[in-house]
Amino acid sequence: MDDRIWAWAPATVANVGPGFDVFGFAIEGAGDRVAARRRDEPGVVLVGVEGDEGRLPRDAESNTAGVAARALLEAVGETEFGIELSLEKETPLASGLGSSAASAVAAVTAVNELLSSPASLPVLLQCATEAERAACGFAPADNTAPSLLGGFVLVRGGTPPRVAQLPVPEGLSCALLHPHQQVRTEEARAVLPESVPLATAVEQWGNVAAFVAGLVQGELDLLRSSIHDAIAEPVRKANVKGFEEVSRAALDAGALGCGLSGSGPSIFALCHSPARAEEVVRAMSIALEKATDDRGDILVSPVGVAGARITTEGSSV
């Protein structure tokens, strides 16, 4: 009998519009699965990683799933037993879809089921975020929080990070295009300015305010006018071939707005309905192909699906 506990954690879109480092939401159709079982010896071991074409670290000390599991054992003071993990990646790596966050969140979710006294969500969030930080050098919880909790999430600093879930208008959908390019999170962060002109910062938080007001009140015009990032996107978009063309195609096809998911290269477009998102994502893919000879991978998801969960063996959701 398989005594493993399986958990699934969704991929996530972060840096949504003006909400650099503060907004993120969970999507369906991509994510990571972790299986965990107790072992008699203390410590965490990673016995298998699939779906990454051999590119992720195989040792539990370096892989975010292993780091997150160990952080959780330490947080709850568990020394009686250890954990054996295996990881199945269904989130593309270095895509801007919160791949390392999904691994970390799936790991803490699975391991938590093995504890005699399960930890609280804030503790799980803290452990997953620490693990992502170990992998990426920096992690503001804007991927780990929506992956763990689901929904559209506002993240602010703190230990554990302070999180608020925001309601989302009925039907709001995300068109996602993942170009076959890779952007390393560390490098994408290195191109950011250390400081921003005050006028630019004011413009950004005016848009953040309009975005939240639009989201919570379901006012699509406010959303449409505020999905704009004056901080990261101007310096990061140069690293994503075809970004301008894809972005224009998304807007022309009726998206409310468009931007880089995380640090890219994935490009998200928010749409008022699933049907519109289907049209938009096709237009984005065609535009990418025209610009780069790559159609990329496409995905359409509601904005803010359920977060991490325990699953039965083999099932993804």
Binding interface with a copy of itself (CB under 8 A)? 18-23, 140, 154-157, 162, 164, 166-167, 192-198, 201-213, 216-217, 222, 225, 231
Q: Which is nearer to a copy of itself, 22 or 111 (CB)?
A: 22
Toward a copy of itself, which CB reaches closer, 167 or 234?
167
Beta carbon of residue 104, minimum distance to a copy of itself (angstroms, whole number): 21
289 vs 112: CA distance, rounded Å: 43
Smallest separation, CB 230 to a copy of itself (Å): 10
Instruction: Closer to a copy of itself by CB, 120 or 217: give it.
Output: 217
Q: How far does Cα 24 stand from its chain's mean position? A: 7
> Minimum Å distance from CB 156 to a copy of itself?
4
CB of 217 to a copy of itself, least distance (A): 6
Q: For a copy of itself, which is the closer residue by CB, 179 or 259?
A: 259
Contact call for residues 179 and 294 (beta carbons, < 8 A): yes
Least CB distance from residue 170 to a copy of itself, whole Å?
17
Which CB atom, from 21 or from 52, has the smaller least distance to a copy of itself?
Answer: 21
Residue with tokens 């920096």: 138
Min dist CB 64 to a copy of itself, Å, is 23
Q: Tell the smallest beta-carbon distance from residue 76 to a copy of itself (Å).
A: 27
Decide if 207 contacts 21 (C-beta within 8 A): no
Contacts 24+ apart (CB under 8 A), 218-225: 218/169, 218/170, 220/169, 220/256, 220/272, 223/169, 223/256, 223/257, 223/270, 224/256, 224/257
Instruction: Give kind and range of the element (H or E) at residue 222.
Output: helix 220-226
In this structure, are residues 100 and 94 in contact, taking their beta carbons and an 8 Å threshold? no
CB nearer a copy of itself, residue 219 or residue 279: 219
Rounded to 10 deg, the angle between the 64-76 and 121-136 helix axes is: 140
For 296, the 3-state DSSP assignment is coil
Nearer to a copy of itself, 210 or 256 (CB): 210
Nearer to a copy of itself, 79 or 200 (CB): 200
User: Minimum Å distance from CB 223 to a copy of itself?
Assistant: 11
58 and 46 Cβ atoms separated by less than 8 Å: yes
Peptide bond between residue 140 and the one before it cis (omega within 30 degrees of 0):
no
User: Which of these, 277, 295, 317, 272, lies nearest to 106 by C-alpha position?
Assistant: 317
